[in-house]
């Protein structure tokens, strides 16, 4: 895993946007895995900017989102289809038919899970997956205790996740109790992952994910087993890392061999 320490949220968003932009320019029909929440908002804003100012072309890009609440309609302001439309899709030249978000209103949720996995396979697999992390170390809606080999599945949300997400709803009682999510096994099949974290409230989770044991109680720790993950973490979120000095040294010296990689 390559760990990049940045100053703040703005720099984290810049670095992540650079990786995504390069992937789109290199392969115009790239398959992207996308996340929602406050962490990737800056990344999406910079992609919109690159489209409007530099002509970044999304016309052939295919996307798959990590997750969606069960039973929220696609036009619900807190639904993830709505989020993606507002922050990215409505502002670039992407074909809406090429954008995919799990259908949390499907009559048979288990069939929707199987169908979503098949759609990803039919697209050739996810080439670049964007990820954040929850305070308890979960990634997507893979709550503590989720199998590290799991595919797309239905999950109950923990009290902590409901509490964290309640700021987006009128009250905690309005937060859905279930979600449909790509599993850890699904995520690990992506060819490359970008893991982003910012803020002191994520420091314990980042420490557990990047340097702790690989365990289902911290599902993001499974990324340690991924062959090509870039972790972009700001100073506050990186504060508890034991190997912080090494990560900085590695980052400072990487350019010496970058052209030979």
Catalytic residue among 100, 143, 153, 234: 143
The helix (run of H) or strand (run of E) holding residue 208 is: helix 203-211
Catalytic residue among 103, 117, 136, 234: 136
**List of long-range contacts for 246-254, beta carbons under 8 Å, 24+ apart:** 247/3, 247/4, 247/5, 248/5, 250/2, 250/3, 251/3, 251/4, 251/5
Catalytic residue among 51, 67, 127, 153: 67
136 is an active site residue: yes
Catalytic residue among 100, 138, 153, 234: 138
Q: Which of 114, 120, 83, 86 shows the shortest CA–CA distance to 100?
A: 120
How far apart CA 244 and CA 164 sit, in angstroms, is 27
Among all chains, which residue has been given the structure tokens 């932009």?
21
67 is an active site residue: yes
164 is an active site residue: no
Residue 57, classified by CB atoms within 10 Å of its CB into exposed (0-12), middle (13-18) or buried (19+), is middle
How far apart CA 131 and CA 120 sit, in angstroms, is 17
The token pair that represents 83 in the structure block: 């989020």
107 is an active site residue: no
Give the number of other CB atoms < 10 A from CB of residue 162. 17
Instruction: Name the residues annotated as catalytic.
Output: 67, 136, 138, 143
């Amino acid at each position: 895993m390559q760990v990049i320490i940045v100053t703040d949220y703005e720099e984290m968003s810049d670095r992540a946007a650079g990786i995504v932009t390069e992937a789109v320019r290199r392969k115009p029909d790239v398959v992207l895995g996308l996340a929602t929440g406050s962490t990737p908002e800056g990344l999406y804003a910079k992609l919109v900017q690159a489209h409007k100012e530099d002509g970044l072309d999304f016309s052939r890009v295919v996307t798959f989102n990590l997750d969606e609440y069960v039973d929220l309609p696609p036009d619900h302001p807190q639904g993830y289809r709505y989020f993606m439309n507002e922050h990215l899709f409505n502002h670039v030249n992407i074909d809406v038919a090429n954008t995919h978000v799990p259908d949390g209103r499907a009559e048979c949720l288990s069939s929707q899970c199987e169908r979503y996995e098949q759609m990803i396979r039919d697209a050739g697999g996810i080439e670049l997956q964007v990820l954040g992390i929850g305070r308890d170390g979960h990634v997507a809606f893979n709550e503590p205790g989720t199998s590290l080999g799991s595919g797309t599945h239905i999950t109950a949300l923990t009290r902590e996740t409901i509490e964290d997400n309640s700021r987006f709803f009128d009250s905690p009682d309005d937060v859905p109790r279930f979600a449909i999510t790509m599993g850890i096994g699904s995520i690990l099949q992506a060819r490359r992952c970008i893991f982003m974290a910012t803020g002191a409230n994520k420091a314990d989770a980042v420490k557990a994910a990047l340097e702790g044991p690989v365990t289902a109680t911290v599902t993001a720790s499974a990324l340690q087993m991924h062959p090509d993950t870039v972790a972009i973490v700001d100073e506050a979120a990186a504060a508890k890392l034991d190997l912080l000095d090494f990560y900085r040294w590695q980052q400072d010296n990487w350019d010496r061999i970058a052209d030979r990689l």
